[in-house]
Amino acid sequence: MPEPHMRPRKSGGPVKRLKPARPANPAGPPRLLGFHKPYGVVSQFTPEGRWQGLKDFIDVPGVYVAGRLDGDSEGLLLLTNDGQLQARIADPRHKMAKTYWVQVEGIPDAAALQQLRDGVALKDGKTLPAQVRMLDPQPAMWPRHPPIRVRQSVPDCWIELIIREGRNRQVRRMTAAVGHPTLRLVRMAIGPYTLDGLEPGQWTDLAL
């Protein structure tokens, strides 16, 4: 996976879930932040119920989320102070690829992986074709807090899934539809921007 030009800066806190605000023209130079969102943080600055908000981690004024990530998912979240850049990243019409590493229950066979590639019939319509592969070797991921619930009698594995849509809980619904519920979901990249070099709760300025 290509490594973005990152200048590590500082760690922070959680994220929350509201309809993303649209930044006006930036007062200063355009900025793009990459944040490694931990589990339990919503994609908004205000906390929501049991979920933490982004304000606990990021103290940069005037930036807004570009493409949300559910509270029970982890990984790369982008924020910017530039409205046009936010639209290019977040709007599914621009079809920016989003790369996920997905821990699923069971071991998908070739037919299940091909179903994901071809598109899965969901209640809101068939998904677009996706890129899918079994991760080999299986990754050694950082611990999640709390850890996932596993069934000792059922194996699990990690797959990579690359999609260009942004439906609500799409990846989880796709894997469930082919018989392999998602246990853990981590977004590793959005377009050319990756999670490389960021620990959970850390953010950095990304090169534009």
Helix extents (H) in 120-200 = 170-177
Catalytic residue among 59, 70, 118, 156: 70
Cα(151)–Cα(126) distance, rounded to whole angstroms? 30
202 phi, psi to nearest 5 deg: -95, 150
Coil, helix or strand at residue 63 = coil
- Specify whether 70 is catalytic: yes
Residues 134, 113 contacting (CB under 8 angstroms):
yes
Exposed (0-12), middle (13-18) or buried (19+): which is 46, by Cβ within 10 Å?
middle
Task: Give the residue numbers marked as catalytic.
Answer: 70
